[in-house]
C-alpha cells in the first residue's frame, strides 16, 4: 500500500509495477466493498427482525459501524499446538485412543468395509474394546494389568484400526477444549508448560483484537505469528493452494454491525413470489433424493444378500453412487428444472426485460411442480435438511423512506437449497442471543435429527466459520469416516455400530445402538445438500437471458454468456486502445456500466466498472488467462443490481453500505415415512 500511495500517476509513469499495485488495490476494493461477502471486518453481520407493525424498513444505525468484534483461532492453528503437545512423552498416556468409525469388531475378528475379516488376539481385543476416544491410556493400563497397552496400541494404529493422537473437536473455540484437556492431564510440569504456551497465544490473540489502526494490527499479528511459529514449529501462514479451507492465518475476525433493521409489511408482501420458487425447489430435492435412494436400495440388496448390513459397509459401497451417478442425476434434474420453468415463464425470444405477476405463474408452477414434490410418496422435500431453503435477497431503494412509500424493488441473489445458511458458525456466534436460534431450531424440528459428522474443513465451503452450529443435545451424530466432534458427546455413534435395514414398506432406515431409528437418506444429507445447494436456475444457459421480475421481486438478473474469444479487446497491448476497445465491446452487447463477471479460471465472481481503465485491465487479464487455460470456456457477465445508488443501509454518519437480507424458509411438513 505504501508505494501505491506514494505514487503520483502520470502518463509516462504508468509502468508495469505501479499498474500492478493499482490493480491489487482495486482487487481488494471490489472484494471487500462491492459484494455482499461476510469477510470478517469487511462484511460484518447485522441482525434484524420482521415487524408487522411497520410498513417499510426502519434502520437503527447504533453507534459507529461495529458493535462487537471477535477474534478467533483458526482450527488448524490449534491443531498445530495440539500436535506438539501430543509429541510430549510426559503427556502421551493422557491421550485417549479411539477406534476408527468404520472398523467393526465382532467376537475375535475385525472387519473393515470391502475387506475380509482379520483375526484379533485376546489382548488386542481387550485394548480395542476400550478405545472410545474418552478413556486415556493410563486408565486403560489400570483396567488391563499385565497387558502392554502402548505396544498393543502401536500395532492397532499400524493396522489403521485405531487413532492415538490428541484430536481437538471442531468448533469456533477449539482452544477452550484444549485448555480443559490440559487442566485434567496429570503431569504437573508438562501441563504447566503447555498451558503457558496456550496462555501466550491467547494473549497474542487478545492484542490483535485490541489493536486499532493498520500499524497496531500489523504489529500485533506479527508478534502472534512469531510466537506461534516458535511454539509449534509450524509456519504461521498456510500455503494458498493447500487444498484446505480458506482460513490461512493463525487468527481471523468476525464482527457484528452496530446497525439493526426492522423490516415491515411492504417487504414481506414483496416476497410473496418466493412461494412458487419454494414449491419448485421441493420438487427438485425430492426427485434428487428419490434418484439417489433408488440406487442405494440396489446397493443394500446386494449387501443384504450376504448378511446383516452395517452403516460403514453401506456407506463405502454407496461411494460410486454419491460421487458419480448422483452428480450426473443432479445435472439432469437441473436441466429438467430449467425446462419446466421455461414453460412457466414463456420468455419471448430476444427480450431484455420480462415482467410476470404472481397470479400469472402460480397456477403453472402448481401444475408443473406442485403435484410432484414427493408429497404423494410421503417424503416431503426429500431429506430432513431439505426442508430448509435460504434466500439471499437485496432491497433496491434509494433510502429507507423510499421503501416506506413503496418505491423499491427486491432482487433475489441466490436461493440456497437444503440448507439453513444462518446456522453457520459465523452467523450464530455473532447473534446477540444464540440460544434464540437454537430454540427456533427446536420449533423447526420437534424431534431429534440424525447429523453426519463432517471433516473439520474442506476447500469446498467447509471451515470453522461455515460449520453448522445449531446442534441440540437431543440430536444424534454419526461418525462415518471422521470423528470431528467430541467423542465424549452423548448420542454420537460410529458407523460400524449402526445397522441398516429395510422396512416392510421398502424404506431404508438406520438403527443406532440405543435403538433410535432414522431414514437412511439422512446419512447422505451433506452429500445431497452439496449437490442440491446451487441447482436453482430457472432460465436456460443461453448466450443472453433477460431480467425476469415477478411483481416486485427480480428472480433473475440479465446475463450474457460469451465465448473466450468474444472480448477481442483483451489481447490489445496498448492500455488506451484496450480501454476504447472494451467500451466498444460493451456497447455492442448492450452491457450496463456495472457488472459482475464469472470465469471458469477465477475462484470468485469479480466486479467490473467499464468506466474504469483499472477494472478493464483486470478483466482483460482474466480473459487472457481463461483463453490460455480453458479456450473453450465462457465468461458469464451479469448486471449489477441493485446499483450503487440503491444502497439504503446507513451508519450513524449517514454513509451507505451494500447489504443483503438473509433469512430462512422452512417447509412446515415434517418428513413422514411411508
Q: Write the pLDDT tens digit of every residue in 380-396.
A: 689 999 999 999 999 99
pLDDT in tens, 460-480: 567 888 899 999 999 999 999
* Residues of the chain by 3-state class (helix, strand, coil), percent to 5: 45, 20, 40
Task: Please tell me the predicted confidence (pLDDT) of residue 674.
Answer: 33
Task: Please tell me the predicted confidence (pLDDT) of residue 482.
Answer: 82
Task: Please tell me the predicted confidence (pLDDT) of residue 370.
Answer: 79
For 297, phi then psi, to 5°, come to: -65, -35
Percentage, residues of the chain above pLDDT 70: 96
Over residues 508-531, mean pLDDT: 96
- The pTM of the full predicted model, rounded to 2 decimals, is 0.92
pLDDT in tens, 114-126: 888 899 999 999 9
Percentage, residues of the chain above pLDDT 90: 83
pLDDT in tens, 245-301: 557 899 999 999 999 999 999 999 999 999 999 999 999 999 999 999 999 999 999
Task: Please tell me the predicted confidence (pLDDT) of residue 401.
Answer: 94
Over residues 551-565, mean pLDDT: 97
pLDDT in tens, 207-254: 999 999 989 999 999 999 999 999 999 999 887 654 555 578 999 999
Closest CA to 555 of 209, 296, 276, 330: 276
CA–CA dist 660, 647 (Å, integer): 10
Cell numbers given for 514: 440405543
* Three-class SS state of 152: helix
* DSSP 8-state symbol, 459: T
Closest CA to 296 of 535, 494, 522: 522
Task: Please tell me the predicted confidence (pLDDT) of residue 263.
Answer: 96
CA–CA dist 390, 415 (Å, integer): 6
Task: Please tell me the predicted confidence (pLDDT) of residue 455.
Answer: 87
Closest CA to 561 of 641, 642, 639, 638: 638
Bridging pattern class, strands 476-479 and 450-452: parallel
For 595, phi then psi, to 5°, come to: -140, 165
CA–CA dist 117, 329 (Å, integer): 35
| Model confidence at 377: pLDDT above 60 | no
| Model confidence at 328: pLDDT above 60 | yes
For all residues of the chain together, what is the average pLDDT?
A: 92
Distances (CA, A) of 666 to 266, 310, 380, 386, 397: 21, 32, 12, 9, 27
| Bridge partner residues of 252 (DSSP) | 72
What b/e readout covers 473-493, taking b as 16+ CB neighbours within 10 angstroms?
A: eeebbbbbbbbbbbbeeebbb
Close Cβ partners of 428 (under 8 Å, ≥ 6 residues apart): 422, 434, 437, 469, 470
CA–chain centroid gap for 43, Å, is 16
CA–CA dist 623, 618 (Å, integer): 9
Task: Please tell me the predicted confidence (pLDDT) of residue 176.
Answer: 98
Amino acid at each position: 500500500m505504501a508505494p501505491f500511495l506514494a505514487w503520483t500517476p502520470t502518463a509516462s509513469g504508468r509502468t508495469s509495477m505501479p499498474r500492478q499495485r493499482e490493480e491489487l488495490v482495486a482487487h481488494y476494493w471490489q472484494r471487500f466493498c462491492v459484494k455482499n461477502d461476510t469477510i470478517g471486518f469487511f462484511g460484518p453481520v447485522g441482525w434484524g427482525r420482521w415487524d408487522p407493525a411497520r410498513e417499510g424498513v426502519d434502520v437503527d444505525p447504533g453507534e459507529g459501524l461495529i458493535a462487537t468484534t471477535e477474534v478467533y483461532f483458526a482450527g488448524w492453528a490449534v491443531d498445530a499446538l495440539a500436535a506438539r503437545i501430543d509429541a510430549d512423552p510426559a503427556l502421551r498416556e493422557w491421550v485417549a485412543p479411539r477406534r476408527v468409525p468404520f472398523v467393526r469388531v465382532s467376537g475375535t475378528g475385525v472387519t473393515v468395509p470391502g475387506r475380509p475379516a482379520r483375526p484379533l488376539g485376546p489382548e488386542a481385543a481387550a485394548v480395542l474394546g476400550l478405545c472410545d476416544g474418552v478413556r486415556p491410556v493410563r486408565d486403560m493400563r489400570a483396567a488391563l494389568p499385565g497387558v502392554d497397552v502402548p505396544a498393543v496400541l502401536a500395532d492397532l494404529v499400524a493396522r489403521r484400526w485405531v487413532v492415538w493422537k490428541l484430536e481437538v473437536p471442531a468448533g469456533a473455540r477449539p482452544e477452550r477444549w484444549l485448555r480443559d484437556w490440559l487442566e485434567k492431564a496429570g503431569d504437573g510440569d508438562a501441563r504447566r508448560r503447555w498451558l503457558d504456551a496456550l496462555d501466550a497465544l491467547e494473549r497474542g490473540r487478545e492484542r490483535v483484537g485490541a489493536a486499532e489502526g493498520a500499524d497496531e494490527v500489523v504489529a500485533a499479528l506479527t508478534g502472534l505469528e512469531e510466537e506461534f511459529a516458535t511454539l509449534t514449529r509450524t509456519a504461521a501462514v498456510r500455503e494458498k493452494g493447500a487444498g484446505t479451507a480458506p482460513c490461512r492465518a493463525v487468527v481471523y475476525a468476525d464482527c457484528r454491525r452496530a446497525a439493526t433493521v426492522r423490516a415491515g409489511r411492504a417487504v414481506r408482501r414483496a416476497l410473496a413470489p418466493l412461494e412458487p420458487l419454494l414449491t419448485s425447489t421441493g420438487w427438485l430435492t425430492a426427485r434428487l433424493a428419490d434418484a439417489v435412494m433408488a440406487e442405494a436400495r440396489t446397493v443394500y440388496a446386494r449387501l443384504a444378500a450376504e448378511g446383516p448390513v452395517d452403516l460403514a459397509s453401506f456407506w463405502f459401497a454407496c461411494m460410486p453412487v454419491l460421487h458419480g451417478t448422483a452428480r450426473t442425476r443432479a445435472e439432469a434434474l437441473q436441466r429438467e428444472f430449467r425446462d419446466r420453468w421455461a414453460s412457466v415463464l414463456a420468455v419471448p425470444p430476444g427480450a431484455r426485460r420480462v415482467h410476470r405477476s404472481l397470479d400469472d405463474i402460480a397456477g403453472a408452477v402448481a401444475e408443473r411442480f406442485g403435484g410432484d414434490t414427493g408429497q404423494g410418496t410421503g417424503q416431503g422435500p426429500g431429506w430432513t435438511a431439505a426442508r430448509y431453503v435460504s434466500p439471499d435477497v437485496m432491497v433496491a431503494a434509494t433510502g429507507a423512506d423510499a421503501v416506506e412509500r413503496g418505491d423499491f424493488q427486491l432482487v433475489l441473489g441466490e436461493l440456497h437449497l437444503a440448507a439453513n445458511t444462518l446456522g453457520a458458525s459465523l452467523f450464530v456466534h455473532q447473534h446477540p442471543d444464540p440460544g434464540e436460534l437454537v430454540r427456533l431450531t427446536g420449533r423447526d424440528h420437534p424431534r431429534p435429527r440424525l447429523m453426519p459428522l463432517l471433516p473439520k474443513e474442506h476447500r469446498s465451503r467447509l471451515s470453522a466459520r461455515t460449520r453448522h452450529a445449531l446442534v441440540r443435545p437431543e440430536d444424534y451424530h454419526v461418525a462415518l469416516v471422521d470423528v470431528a466432534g467430541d467423542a465424549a458427546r452423548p448420542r454420537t455413534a460410529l458407523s460400524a455400530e449402526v445397522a441398516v435395514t429395510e422396512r416392510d414398506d421398502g424404506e431404508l432406515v438406520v438403527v443406532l445402538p440405543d435403538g433410535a431409528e432414522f431414514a437412511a437418506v439422512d446419512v447422505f444429507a451433506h452429500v445431497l445438500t452439496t449437490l442440491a445447494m446451487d441447482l436453482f436456475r430457472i432460465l436456460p444457459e443461453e448466450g443472453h437471458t433477460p431480467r425476469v421480475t415477478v411483481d416486485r421481486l427480480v428472480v433473475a438478473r440479465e446475463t450474457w454468456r460469451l465465448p473466450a474469444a468474444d472480448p477481442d479487446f483483451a489481447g490489445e497491448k496498448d492500455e488506451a486502445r484496450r480501454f476504447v476497445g472494451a467500451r466498444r465491446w460493451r456497447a455492442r452487447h448492450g452491457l450496463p456500466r456495472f457488472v459482475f463477471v464469472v470465469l471458469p479460471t477465477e475462484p470468485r465472481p469479480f466486479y467490473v466498472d467499464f468506466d474504469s481503465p483499472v477494472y478493464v485491465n483486470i478483466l482483460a487479464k482474466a480473459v487472457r488467462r481463461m483463453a490460455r487455460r480453458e479456450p473453450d470456456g465462457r465468461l458469464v457477465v451479469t448486471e449489477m443490481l441493485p446499483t450503487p445508488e440503491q444502497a439504503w443501509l446507513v451508519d450513524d454518519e449517514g454513509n451507505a453500505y451494500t447489504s443483503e437480507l438473509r433469512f430462512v424458509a422452512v417447509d412446515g411438513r415434517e418428513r413422514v415415512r411411508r
